[in-house]
Amino acid sequence: MRKFILLATFLIVTPIFLIFSIIFVALIHFEHIQSQFLTSVAQPQTVAYAALPTTQNSLSDQIIEQNARAEMLTQFFEQYNSPLAPYAQTIVDEADAYNLDFRLLPAIAMQESDGCLKAPPNSDNCWGFGIYGHTVTRFDSYPSAIQAVSKALAEKYASKGLKTPEQIMSIYDPPSSANGGRWADSVSYFMNKLQ
């Protein structure tokens, strides 16, 4: 009889023990997963990349700076409703290609044509470039104008040490030099707005 009671107890208790054990293990596993989730949500993960070359950081800084300048120009042109807004990156790229201050071309465009709002019709010439009397230099597109004016500023001005609006004015707009330098003041004003 005693064997019968032990066998019956074993047969009843064992499944109950197994069921409780499975539930207990499942709860422990669930709490572990939940705590990992809450920890990852509550605390941001930081990862150190000590072995990365230092040039990667400078490259990413250059990319961020490049994008920041183009975005700044886009917003600047949009503020003035200028049709040059979509060409902000082109202006930055050409300025870099010719080692010019990226603010110079937009500032001259603002001085000469209110950012292309008052440019001669069908000229894509926002810079007063090659415009005198009835002569108007025309370009096929804004990008070709940006490239040509940037190249001229680099070759005819910057290469001779003429980089600031005051230095450029004597050749770019000689009448303004004689009239107190209003051209340079205006170009400098717009350049300062882009800092």
Give the model confidence (pLDDT) of 26-48 as tens digits.
Answer: 767 767 666 665 555 555 555 55
Confidence of residue 19 (pLDDT cuts 50, 70, 90): confident
Same domain, 75 and 167: yes
Please tell me the distance from the alpha carbon of residue 153 to that of residue 136, in angstroms, as a whole number. Answer: 18
Containing structural domain, residue 87: 63-193
> Is 62's pLDDT higher than 70?
no
pTM over 0.75: no
Please tell me the distance from the alpha carbon of residue 179 to that of residue 185, in angstroms, as a whole number. Answer: 11
- The number of distinct structural domains making up the chain is 2
Does residue 51 form part of some domain? no
Please tell me the distance from the alpha carbon of residue 172 to that of residue 70, in angstroms, as a whole number. Answer: 25
Predicted pLDDT at 180? 76
